């Protein structure tokens, strides 16, 4: 039974979604094919039409920010430059939206791409090429550091090297990247939050965005241990919030990694139940970072595992029900727009 859309006029900037076509890759994903891969089977094709359908499903999505996902790399370029193809593709989608044919809605108004920071100083020409490809929409990169000693937590395709954010070659590349004044999205798993704390302290002038509330884990060897690890998550999250150069994305909890809910994809659980599951994490993040450094995100289509797009945003609105008008504006749109330098798209 579809839910009634809560606060349908509230402007939303969705600061984290993907676009991809994983269908050619699905047969070759290595074993073990854990829950996350099975979730991707249901969302293996997600481009402009699918995004359009979700963002026009009842909530007032005024703009979005694309997040890198290894899609549509340019096979004709060398390994370092292949990632430019993703930004070129997404910039085309953004141009579709900017045409005005779809109203005032601006998909991919900001683009976050990828560059390999372990290149050190050699990353600079890659960043310059990404900036050119984005035509003013390129806002930063994500270089994921997600790793766990249990290889079944992430599955074979998704492991970053252990201790990536502390490695000398990465730090050299990070220093080179910091010269551009762009954003950096960090994706790590909950036990790795100290890695982001150390990085943020080492580069206090670099804007860093922590993805997915720091990715609490309820999968593989972590299943059933959310309560056991909550205090550690909360302690590290609050310590990270002391770094003024860090913001947090409020979402990702419907991923199979987080297991809130455990069953998916599209578990069919209502927004009220989802809000109750997510409340300890979302409220702690908002309390620690404040609305000016916190932003709700869809993480779609990955979070399709636990919630449809309309239900996801209904859950967020339930979690923000006690916030003031200004706080809601920040959490749902203004913080994301300021962070990714797309404030011009916000309604006055």
Give residue 309's pLDDT band: very low, low, confident or very high (50, 70, 90): very high
Question: Which domains can be identified in the chain, with CATH numbers?
Answer: 11-345 (3.20.20.140)
**What pTM was computed for the model?**
0.95
In whole numbers, what is the pLDDT of the chain averaged over residues?
93
Q: Residues with Cβ < 8 Å from 96, sequence gap 6 or more?
A: 48, 102, 107
pLDDT confidence of residue 24: 61
Average pLDDT over residues 255-263: 91
- pLDDT tens digits, residue range 95-147? 999 999 888 899 999 999 999 999 999 999 999 999 999 999 999 999 999 99
For the ranges 151-160, 201-210, 219-228, 291-300, the lowest mean pLDDT is seen at 151-160
């Amino acid at each position: 039974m579809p839910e009634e859309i809560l606060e349908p006029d509230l402007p939303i900037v969705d600061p984290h979604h993907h676009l991809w076509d994983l269908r050619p890759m699905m047969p070759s994903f290595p074993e073990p094919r854990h829950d996350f891969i099975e979730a991707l089977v249901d969302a293996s094709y997600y481009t402009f039409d699918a995004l359009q359908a979700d963002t026009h499903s009842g909530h007032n999505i005024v703009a979005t920010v694309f997040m890198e996902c290894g899609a549509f790399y340019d096979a004709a370029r060398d390994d370092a430059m292949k990632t430019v193809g993703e930004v070129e593709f997404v910039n085309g989608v953004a141009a579709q939206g900017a045409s005005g044919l779809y109203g005032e809605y601006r998909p991919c108004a900001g683009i976050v791409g990828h560059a390999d920071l372990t290149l050190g100083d050699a990353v600079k020409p890659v960043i310059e090429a990404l900036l050119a490809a984005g035509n003013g929409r390129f806002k930063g990169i994500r270089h994921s550091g997600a790793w766990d000693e249990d290889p079944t937590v992430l599955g074979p395709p998704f492991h970053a090297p252990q201790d990536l954010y502390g490695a000398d070659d990465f730090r050299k590349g990070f220093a080179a990247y910091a010269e551009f004044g762009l954003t950096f999205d960090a994706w790590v798993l909950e036990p790795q939050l100290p890695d982001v704390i150390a990085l943020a302290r080492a580069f206090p002038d670099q804007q860093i965005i922590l993805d997915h509330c720091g990715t609490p884990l309820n999968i593989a060897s972590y299943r059933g241990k959310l309560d056991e690890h909550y205090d550690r998550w909360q302690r590290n999250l609050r310590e990270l919030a002391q770094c003024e150069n860090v913001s947090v994305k409020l979402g990702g909890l419907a991923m199979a990694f987080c297991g809130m809910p455990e069953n998916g994809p599209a578990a069919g659980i209502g927004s009220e139940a989802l809000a109750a599951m997510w409340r300890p994490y979302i409220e702690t993040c908002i309390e620690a970072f404040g609305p000016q450094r916190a932003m709700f995100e869809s993480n779609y289509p990955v979070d399709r595992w636990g919630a449809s797009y309309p239900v996801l945003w209904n859950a967020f609105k339930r979690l923000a029900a006690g916030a003031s008008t200004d706080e809601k504006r920040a959490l749902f749109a203004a913080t994301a727009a300021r962070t990714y330098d797309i404030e011009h798209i916000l309604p006055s």
